[in-house]
Amino acid sequence: MKLSELKEEAVKDLQIDRTDLETSILNLSMLCSKWHNYRIDQASIVSLNQFKYKKLEAKKKKYYLGKLNEDELDLLGWESDGYKVLKGDVQMWLDDDDDLITEAQKLTYQKEILTFIEKQMNLLDSNKWLIKDLINVRKFLEGG
């Protein structure tokens, strides 16, 4: 799911109908469940992307150290430049690798989505207390 779509959905889900607080509080448990499921799905995606990144990083490290054979290079679609990087310089090459940068950007985006979902869950949780307070204020104003 895209962050922009989640933002639109969050705006709708976080609204409280002040004219029907009882229904709002009943809907809140369904909304909490929905966002909890989003969190589980997104955490799985983040975990999968972390593994993909680490695996790619390990292959790139072998590539720059010249430890991949021609068959492995062909399978990955990488060309052999015929040079080896010094072990001390590998991190510099990894930091500049376009494939790793792309994977890191994907991972960062997925982590941002997960953080957003967790924040929305916190806001939904605080809505419980807000609705409770609104009900208490209404009772007080009505003389109860």
Q: Please give the full DSSP string across 70-88, using - where no structure is assigned.
A: HHHHHHHTPPP-S----GG
The pLDDT tens digits of the residues spanning 5-49 come to 999 999 999 998 888 888 888 889 899 999 999 999 999 999 999
The pLDDT tens digits of the residues spanning 98-110 come to 999 999 999 999 9
Residue 143 inside a domain? The answer is: no
Q: Which domain holds residue 85?
A: 21-137
Residues in the chain: 144
The tokens 């990488």 sit on which residue? 78
Residue 44 inside a domain? The answer is: yes
With bands split at pLDDT 50, 70 and 90, how would you rate the model's confidence at 139? confident
Residue 133 inside a domain? The answer is: yes
Q: What's the total number of domains in the chain?
A: 1
Give the global pTM.
0.85
Residue 12 inside a domain? The answer is: no
